[in-house]
Structure 1
Amino acid sequence: MASEADLQRRRLSLYGWMLIAPALALMTVFAFAPAVMTFWESLFSRGTRRRPSVFTGLDNYADLFADPTFTKVVINNLIYSGITIPASIIIALSMALWANAKIPARGLVRIAYFTPTMLPMIAAANLWLFFYTPGFGLIDQITGLFGIGPTNWLGQPQTALGAVIVVTIWKEAGFYMIFYLAALQTIPPDLKEAARIEGAGRWYYTRRVVLPLLMPTTLFVLINALINSVKLIDHLFILTRGGPNDASKLILYWIWEMAFAYFDGVHAAAMTVLVLAALGLAAAFQFFVVDRRAHYR
């Protein structure tokens, strides 16, 4: 017969499985199963009524790597991520440090910083579409005061992606600020008082105490920013539709375009699998490498 310790261990194990069962069921239905089905679909050819799909292995992936649009979209997304992620984090941290300080109308400052986040994606994109309108938009009205002529910010390859990047930073920095603001309020005030007694200045205290204590929050924000950088699609519909000449086309928009504009579901599935694989590698790196160094000791 099993000992009392074994029975207790089994009860605890059963209790644990019962706790995670609802979340595991939802993840299976809405995440794991669709991912497996997408991978399976990516291994078949594009089927029609007259010519049903057949198993082709990795041919769809080879087609993607041979497509110049694939290279263009990946480079666009790398540039987009490489600018929006650090810029949003730095601006969010700066806003949080200021909004957490003892300044007049601190509540209004926090509301002003967070207001862009509350706007729906489509509304924010339409607002910036007005700002970018050549000759009549707010940006050209301001630059016109300095003698600079109208610029088609969204209609030329040199500026289209940069214009989208500006909108994203403006929209997301306030959202990330909330996490930093919450983390700053958990730092014991005794640490600041002790640093002041030891003669540490404000910059030294921020660099040596505050920033290390904020590393777990920074890691959390970094993962969210990375995920958001590959799922932008709302702004592109309103602002550029990936143009001109694919200058602002990003990964998720291209996946949607292949699947629903060109009805090429198999190549869209292959691209989705590549995105999931890249995010999985990033998550593994975060879990096994970065997370162990993110906590202050």
Structure 2
Amino acid sequence: MSDPHRLRRRAQAIHGWLLLTPALAMLTTFAFYPTVATFWASLFSRGTRRRPTEFVGLENYQRLFDDPTFWLVAKNNLLYAGVTIPVSILLALAMALWANAKIPARSFVRTAYFTPTVLPMIAAANLWLFFYTPGFGVLDQIGALFGAASVNWLGQPETALWAVCVVTIWKEAGFFMIFYLAALQTIPPDLREAAQIEGASRLAYTRRIVLPLLMPTTLFILVNAMINSVKLIDHLFILTKGGPSDASKLILYYIWENAFAFFDAPAAAAMTVLMLAVLGALAAFQFFVIDRRTHYR
């Protein structure tokens, strides 16, 4: 007769694999296989009717590293992420703290903060054109009241990327606020009462108790914000199309441009692999290093 403990362990293993099968099938179809296929495509040259593709190894990566436009786009994306991520998170935290307080018309305030999130990015970009259009935009109209000259916010290399950053922050802050607001409502009110009994000010309570308890939520938002900093490019098609002079071009837009405008799929695949490698390294650092410091003890 078979060992009953061995049969039980085998049944548990089969049950576990059956539970994992749907997730593994989805990840394999939409994550693992596309990643491997993209890496494989990056090792071949661009094919034409007269000259088919051939294996070139890491030549596409070398060509990228020698491309000054690639480095300009990478610098743009670093600046874009360095501005939009911390500003969006800080603004979302401030909005959540205010929307969670006992203020008049609290439901209206929450709705007003969250409204930009439900708009598609294309609609948000078209809305902001009414602010940025030279001569007719809201910003120029307000500036004209004080005698300021008209500014082409989207047509100057010095301001184009910053204008795009403002749209992203306006769109993302309300989305991140929802996570902070949900986390704030899980904090026991007893902690606030204990802090008041001890004579702690509101600032001390927020800094010593609320913010440490929100650190897991902050890590989750940080990962999402980092992904969004290379994922959200819809507004570029409406606002700048990466211009002027590539001043507002981001990495995903450059990937799309190489794949569908220049028909250089191997170069686009190489950039995609590099982007995935950087995102994976940052995510691993956040979860394995920063995550250990996020839990309040």
Give the TM-score normalised by the residue count of structure 2.
Answer: 0.98
| Consecutive unaligned residues in structure 2, runs of 5 or more | none
Distance 1:120 1:79 in 2: 24
| Residue pairs, 1:28-177, within 5 angstroms | 28-177=28-177
**1:253 match:** 253
Q: Tell me the CA shift for residue 2 of structure 1.
A: 4.9
Tell me, what secondary structure is at the counterpart of 2:187? coil
Return 181-190 or 133-142, whichever deviates more: 133-142
Tell me, what secondary structure is at the counterpart of 1:211? helix
1:204-258 Cα shifts (integer Å, max 9, x gaps)? 0000000000000000000000000001220000000000000000000000000
**1:196 match:** 196
1:19-75 Cα shifts (integer Å, max 9, x gaps)? 121111011011110110000000011111111111111000000000000110000
1:114-135 Cα shifts (integer Å, max 9, x gaps)? 0000111111000001110001
**1:234 match:** 234
Equivalent residue pairs, number = 297
**1:273 match:** 273
Q: Is the 1:85–1:226 Cα contact (8 Å) retained in structure 2?
A: yes
Distance 2:219 2:158 in 1: 32
Q: Tell me the CA shift for residue 4 of structure 1.
A: 2.7
Return 142-151 or 6-15, whichever deviates more: 6-15
1:104-153 Cα shifts (integer Å, max 9, x gaps)? 00000000000000111111000001110001101111111221111000
Q: Which amino acid aligns with 2:34?
A: P
Q: Tell me the CA shift for residue 8 of structure 1.
A: 2.2
| Consecutive unaligned residues in structure 1, runs of 5 or more | none
Q: Which amino acid aligns with 1:189?
A: P
Q: Which amino acid aligns with 2:112?
A: A
Give the TM-score normalised by the residue count of structure 1.
Answer: 0.98
Q: Is the 1:232–1:253 Cα contact (8 Å) retained in structure 2?
A: no
Q: Which amino acid aligns with 1:213?
A: L
Q: Tell me the CA shift for residue 9 of structure 1.
A: 2.2
Distance 1:14 1:98 in 2: 50
Distance 2:246 2:239 in 1: 13
**1:287 match:** 287
The ranges of structure 1 where at least 4 consecutive aligned residues each deviate by more than 3 angstroms after the TM superposition are none
Question: Is residue 13 from structure 1 mapped to residue 10 from structure 2 by the alignment?
Answer: no
